[in-house]
Amino acid sequence: MDETLSKKEMSVQELRDYTEERLADILSVLSDVALGDLTVEAVVESEDIFGSVAMGVNAMIKGLRELKEQDKEKSMLLEKSNQELEDFVYIVSHDLKAPLRAIIGFAEFLKEDYADRLDKQGQDYVRRMVESAERMQQLINDLLELSRIGRYKNPYVEINAGELALKAVEFINPPDDVKIDIADDMPDIFCDEVRMQQVLANLITNAMKYNDKEKKKIEIAWIPNEDEDLDEFTISDNGIGIEAKHLERIFKIFQRLHTRDEYGGGTGVGLNIVKKIIEQHGGTIWVESEVGKGTCFHFTLCRGEEDEV
pLDDT digits (tens, 9 = 90+) for 196-208: 999 999 999 989 9
pTM of the full predicted structure? 0.61
> Rg (Cα) of the chain, in Å, rounded?
31
Residue 110 placed within a domain = yes
> 301 and 180, same structural domain?
yes
> 216 and 104, same structural domain?
no
Mean pLDDT calculated for residue range 80-109:
74
Packed helices 12-34 and 49-91: angle between N→C axes, nearest 10 degrees: 0
Does 128 or 217 have the greater pLDDT score? 217
CA-CA distance, 38 to 32, in Å (whole number)? Answer: 8
CA-CA distance, 292 to 239, in Å (whole number)? Answer: 7
On the question of pLDDT at 297 being above 90, the answer is yes
> 207 and 138, same structural domain?
no
pLDDT band at 6 (very low <50, low <70, confident <90, very high): low
Residue 186 placed within a domain = yes
On the question of pLDDT at 258 being above 60, the answer is no
> 163 and 144, same structural domain?
no
pLDDT digits (tens, 9 = 90+) for 26-79: 777 777 777 778 888 888 877 777 788 888 888 888 888 888 888 888 878 877
CA-CA distance, 34 to 63, in Å (whole number)? Answer: 14
On the question of pLDDT at 16 being above 90, the answer is no
Counted domains in the chain: 3
> 229 and 121, same structural domain?
no
> 236 and 302, same structural domain?
yes
> 112 and 236, same structural domain?
no
Task: Tell which residue, 273, 267, 251, 249, has the closest CA to residue 147.
Answer: 273
CB distance 165 to 186 below 8 Å? yes
C-alpha atoms less than 13 angstroms from C-alpha of 251 in its C-beta half-sphere = 16
How do strand 216-223 and strand 294-302 relate by DSSP bridges?
unpaired
> 164 and 39, same structural domain?
no
> 176 and 132, same structural domain?
no
CB distance 161 to 187 below 8 Å? yes
On the question of pLDDT at 123 being above 50, the answer is yes
On the question of pLDDT at 264 being above 60, the answer is no
> 288 and 186, same structural domain?
yes
| pLDDT recorded at residue 1 | 46
CA-to-CA dists, residue 213 to 82, 170, 216, 234, 292, angstroms: 46, 22, 6, 20, 10
In 124-135, which positions are buried (b, 16+ CB within 10 angstroms) versus exposed (e)? eebeebbeebee
- Output the average pLDDT for the chain: 80
**Residue 129 belongs to what domain range?**
87-148
Phi-psi region of 85 (alpha: psi -120 to 50; beta: other; left: phi over 0): alpha
| pLDDT recorded at residue 261 | 47
> 132 and 14, same structural domain?
no
Of these ranges, 45-49, 87-91, 291-295, the one predicted with the greatest mean pLDDT is: 291-295
pLDDT digits (tens, 9 = 90+) for 224-252: 877 778 889 999 999 888 888 778 778 77
pLDDT band at 161 (very low <50, low <70, confident <90, very high): very high
For residue 116, list its beta bridge partners. none
On the question of pLDDT at 265 being above 50, the answer is yes
> 178 and 219, same structural domain?
yes
Residue 104 placed within a domain = yes
CA-CA distance, 58 to 51, in Å (whole number)? Answer: 11
Angle at CA 258, nearest 5°, toward 254 and 264? 100
| pLDDT recorded at residue 221 | 94
| pLDDT recorded at residue 184 | 92
